[in-house]
Amino acid sequence: MISKEAVLLLLSVLAAAALTSPAAYADDAKPDFAANKLLGDWAGMRTELFDKGLSVDIYYKADAWRNLSGGVEKGNRALDNLDVKLTVDGDKAFKMPGTTFFVYFLNNNGGRPNDLVRSNVGVDNIEVPARSFKLYEAWGQKEFYDGKVSILAGLHDLNSEFYVTDSSGLFLNPHYGIGTEMSATGDNGPSIFPYTSAAVRLAVHPTDSTYAQAAIFDGVPGDPNNPRGTHIEFKDKEGALAIAEGGIKSDSLGHFAMGTWEYTAKRPDQLTPSIEKKTDGVYFLADRSVYKNGGHNVNAFARLGFTDGKVYQFKDSWSLGFVFSGFIPSRKDGQIGVALSRSDNSSEYITANAPIGNSETQLELTYKDMLAPWLSLQPDLQYTINPGADTALANAWTLGIRLGVDF
């Protein structure tokens, strides 16, 4: 486990390195910290750090939820999430062109709104099993051939690059981050929020609009027996998770991709535990603007993933949605989102856990508005049909709101 003292030491070293390194020798456009951050420019220190290669981003989310009806019970829950991210431009800081270093600290507190609903997927994408402060990511990346090839190594979030669509990022339900058929696999999930593992990733961009990337992650992120803190362990039986994705992505074409993944370690079959099997899957993504006119924009996304369902609960999941921007007069930054998702249990899981339903479906309606460049407010309404695929639970209406502050 990585202690808080080690984290603070690492933070101090990065800051000192940036402050003592040579100044930038490229006239990059500087962010307007004074206008866009609650704490402004730190009396000029933030700009000075940026010029020397260190960017510091601090973002806080506070969520409050009320389960209005259905699910397990009515009730209220509140939770929060603090992200502290440090990015070091190796060219500016250390005269290492094409090199980037990234460190990400994560702190989570509060209740678990899904205890009220008991959804298979959840209702809030910052909910965690236990309160924790941790080093979430720490990696270095080197680019080659004018950025057409890059290699990344370190503690890494798989979902920051794989199985992700930009438009779906507006929504608060966890399903729109990564498909349930993949997120529910592994002994402690794949390397996604809130547990990450060590990884090596190769990315290639043959053209400005095409890409291919592949990575190998430690098969069990963190410590399944200890949800607090950062744990980096390598054990033979854990194996690895291999993933690859390729597609096209550009402002004009949108984002269309296909990915595939596999765990190298075998796990017991749900119906015949004495037999162990590998788990793999495939997914498809689509995300693009479908309407743009006079400051109005509509983005649509669709995601579909499959696995065999022999070892873990789900055989497939899908989601689709629309994001409407600029349609509210005088609220040019306002975004309205509506999305639908479903997760289907495998026949093996249904047999092993009978009586249980086939699937769970969720509908989400959300609106995000910027009250200031550094302050956002996002009310959110979700309707969960057949929570947890448990036929004994009534469909649930859940109302929430998120406050976002960019420090």
**Collapsing DSSP states into helix, strand and coil, what is residue 16?**
helix
Containing structural domain, residue 173: 4-406
Spatial separation of the C-alpha atoms in residues 384 and 390, rounded to whole Å: 11
Which pLDDT score is estimated for 10? 38
Task: Quick: pLDDT tens for 18-68.
Answer: 333 333 333 457 899 999 999 999 999 999 999 999 999 999 999 999 999
Helix residue spans in 185-286 (DSSP H): none
Q: Of all residues in the chain, what percent carry a pLDDT higher than 90?
A: 86
107-127 mean pLDDT: 97
| CATH number of the CATH domain containing 243 | 2.40.160.180
Nearest CA to 275 out of 310, 246, 303 is that of 310
Distance of CA 196 to the CA centre of its chain: 11
80-88 mean pLDDT: 98
Of 22-26, 86-90, 240-244, 364-368, the least confident: 22-26
Query: Taking 50 as the threshold, does the pLDDT of residue 302 lie above it?
Result: yes
Spatial separation of the C-alpha atoms in residues 359 and 121, rounded to whole Å: 11
Nearest CA to 210 out of 242, 165, 257 is that of 257
Domain count, the chain: 1
Which pLDDT score is estimated for 233? 84
CA distances from 16 to 74, 99, 269, 295, 322 (A): 50, 18, 52, 44, 44
Which pLDDT score is estimated for 7? 35
Q: Which residue has the higher pLDDT, 330 or 221?
A: 221
Unique residue bearing structure tokens 């595939």: 260
Q: Positive or negative CA dihedral for 177, 178, 179, 180?
A: negative
Spatial separation of the C-alpha atoms in residues 300 and 197, rounded to whole Å: 31
pTM for this predicted structure: 0.90
Report yes or no: 339 and 168 within 8 Å, Cβ to Cβ: yes
Query: Taking 80 as the threshold, does the pLDDT of residue 199 lie above it?
Result: yes
Task: Quick: pLDDT tens for 323-339.
Answer: 999 999 889 899 999 99
Query: Taking 60 as the threshold, does the pLDDT of residue 400 lie above it?
Result: yes
Which pLDDT score is estimated for 28? 56
Backbone angles phi, psi at 112, to 5 degrees: -120, 100
Which pLDDT score is estimated for 13? 35
Report yes or no: 337 and 365 within 8 Å, Cβ to Cβ: yes
Spatial separation of the C-alpha atoms in residues 206 and 209, rounded to whole Å: 8
